[in-house]
Amino acid sequence: MSILVVGSVAFDSVETPFGRVDNVLGGSATYFSTSASFFTDVNLVAVVGDDFPQEHLDFLKSREIDLRGLARDSGKTFHWKGKYGYDLNEAQTLETHLNVFETFKPQIPPAYADSEYLFLANIDPELQMEVLRQVRKPKVIASDTMNFWISSKPDALREVIGRVDILIINEGEARQLTREPNLVKAARQILALGLKTLIIKRGEYGVLMFTDTSVFAAPAYPLEAVFDPTGAGDTFAGGFMGYLANTGDTSEEGVRQAIVFGSVMASFNVEAFSLDRMKTLAYREIEERYRDFKALTHFRGLPHQEGL
């Protein structure tokens, strides 16, 4: 099954304690679709300016990402500039130039309207609603958001959350959305907005998944070299949705596996700046790291005769 993703394609300038890069390929939809492309076909809806180089288009095409939904407007491509300290969990935004993204109105090409898997990356919740009006009846809809929309457009955001199956946000956003410091209580409140599944990202601490009847905890992979966490969340979402779309298995077991595949993809992406690690990644490595995750989290169940 193919996935439709709507989000940003951008240039990023990023500084971490391990180096800096300027005007490299970034954007939520870029990370998402590249990651998902290891598992399934991806249809991308976004906008770039006339400064967007062929080299990046070639890369996305090499991942067999369908670019018919990638609009090109006159003007500059969205540019984000950020910085991380040794605490790589939190980016400090230095500059945001929306550029052509400022007037972005997602147009879903007719060929994409029957997509069964839809990911609404972090954009204005009113635009996310626009997208929902343009697609027919996706089997699974997931969305992301950010602190800015939680404070500036809370009503539109709640409307989106009520329409999607899966919300993928970070820990701070979950607390901000509910004004509830306890994460489990916050999760219950968010689920009550009408979600099937809530996935809470916790950076280097991994992910918690909540449904009405279960909780699943997946660690992040402990890495010796984390160069740049930019895009980790979208790369996670791409691996997660990509695996779901590939298998069509939306059972609890299937969703848990998809979360681990998402975590695997994110763990690779942070090993280098921009999407550089994705450029050399082989599927064999993805499966290897999935097995490493299994070994990382394995412990014996309780025998029936414990003798205690």
Q: Which residues are known to be catalytic?
A: 234
User: Scanning the structure block, which residue is given the tokens 């414990």?
Assistant: 306
Whichever of 1 and 183 has its CB closer to a second copy, that residue is 183
Whichever of 111 and 184 has its CB closer to a second copy, that residue is 184
Spatial neighbors of 136 by CB under 8 A, at least 6 apart, are 113, 114
Half-sphere exposure of 224 (CA within 13 A, CB side): 0
Per-residue mark of binding to a second copy, 203-232 (x: CB under 8 A) = -xxx-x-----xxxxxx--xxxxx------
Task: Among 260, 266, 275, 278, indicate the residue that binds a second copy (CB under 8 A).
Answer: 260
Task: Among 20, 61, 68, 185, indicate the residue that binds a second copy (CB under 8 A).
Answer: 185
Whichever of 76 and 188 has its CB closer to a second copy, that residue is 188
Tokens of residue 303, six digits: 């025998």
Verify binding: residue 294, a second copy, rule CB under 8 A.
yes
Restricting to residues 95-134, name those near a second copy by CB under 8 A: none
Give the interface size with a second copy as a residue count (CB under 8 A): 47
| Stretch touching a second copy by CB under 8 A, among 65-73, 103-111, 191-199, 286-294 | 286-294
Verify binding: residue 192, a second copy, rule CB under 8 A.
no
Tokens of residue 299, six digits: 């412990």
Half-sphere exposure of 217 (CA within 13 A, CB side): 9
CB 137: neighbour CB atoms within 10 A?
A: 9
Whichever of 103 and 214 has its CB closer to a second copy, that residue is 214
User: Scanning the structure block, which residue is given the tokens 């990644």?
Assistant: 281
Whichever of 8 and 197 has its CB closer to a second copy, that residue is 197
Between CA 56 and CA 152 the distance in angstroms is 32
Tokens of residue 78, six digits: 């969205």
207-210 vs 215-218, strand pairing mode: antiparallel
Task: Among 133, 155, 301, 305, indicate the residue that binds a second copy (CB under 8 A).
Answer: 301
Whichever of 54 and 225 has its CB closer to a second copy, that residue is 225
| Stretch touching a second copy by CB under 8 A, among 7-15, 69-77, 146-154, 290-298 | 290-298
CA distances from 21 to 13, 16, 83, 89, 233 (A): 6, 9, 11, 18, 19
For the CB of residue 269, give the shortest distance to a second copy in the complex, in Å: 17
H or E segment to which residue 162 belongs? helix 154-163
The side-by-side arrangement of strands in the sheet containing 19-26 is 19-26, 10-16, 79-84, 91-97
| Stretch touching a second copy by CB under 8 A, among 153-161, 190-198, 230-238, 287-295 | 287-295
The three-state DSSP-derived secondary structure of 174-233 is: HHHHHCCCCHHHHHHHHHCCCCCEEEEECHHHCEEEECCCCEEEECCCCCCCCCCCCCHH
Restricting to residues 123-182, name those near a second copy by CB under 8 A: 181-182
Length of the chain: 308
Residues lying near a second copy in the complex (CB under 8 A) are found at 17, 39, 86-87, 181-185, 188, 202, 204-206, 208, 214-219, 222-226, 246, 253, 256-257, 259-260, 283, 287, 290-291, 294-302, 306, 308
